[in-house]
């Protein structure tokens, strides 16, 4: 497989992951993703921001989140995010520190 084809396939897989998280399973909370998998939708938007920077494209955190979420992040939170229990928040703090570190957001 050539590099261009691999890139196209990887991009298609990413788009399908985004569709799954945004359209098929918006009920799955970011905190649960982070606690179980060590990443969440915000991580994916940050990775988009970092990839843009690698290509010399400046993208703010807010712009990256809007690009990933398809709407302003505050709108997504209002529509889909629920209150986390203290136990989930404590698990998140640990997962975040282990997987994201200083990239809080």
The number of distinct structural domains making up the chain is 1
Does 55 map to a domain? yes
Residue 102 clears pLDDT 80, i.e. is over it:
no
pLDDT at residue 26, as a whole number? 95
- pLDDT, one tens digit per residue, over 24-67 is 999 999 999 999 999 999 999 999 999 999 999 999 999 999 99
Tokens of 11: 């991009």
Does 28 map to a domain? yes
> Three-state DSSP class for 59?
coil
- pLDDT, one tens digit per residue, over 74-90 is 999 999 999 999 999 99
Query: What CATH number does the domain containing 52 carry?
Result: 1.10.3340.10
Does 100 map to a domain? no
pLDDT at residue 14, as a whole number? 96
Does 39 map to a domain? yes
pTM of the model: 0.84
**Is residue 97 within 8 Å of residue 91, measured between CB atoms?**
no
Does 44 map to a domain? yes
């Amino acid at each position: 497989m050539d590099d261009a084809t691999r890139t196209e396939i990887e991009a298609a897989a990413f788009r399908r992951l985004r569709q799954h998280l945004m359209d098929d399973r918006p009920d799955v909370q970011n905190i649960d993703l982070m606690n179980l998998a060590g990443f969440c939708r915000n991580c994916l938007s940050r990775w988009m921001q970092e990839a843009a920077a690698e290509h010399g494209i400046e993208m703010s955190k807010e712009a990256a989140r809007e690009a990933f979420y398809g709407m302003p992040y505050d709108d997504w939170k209002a529509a889909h995010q629920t209150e986390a229990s203290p136990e989930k928040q404590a698990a998140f703090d640990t997962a975040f520190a282990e997987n994201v570190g200083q990239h809080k957001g």
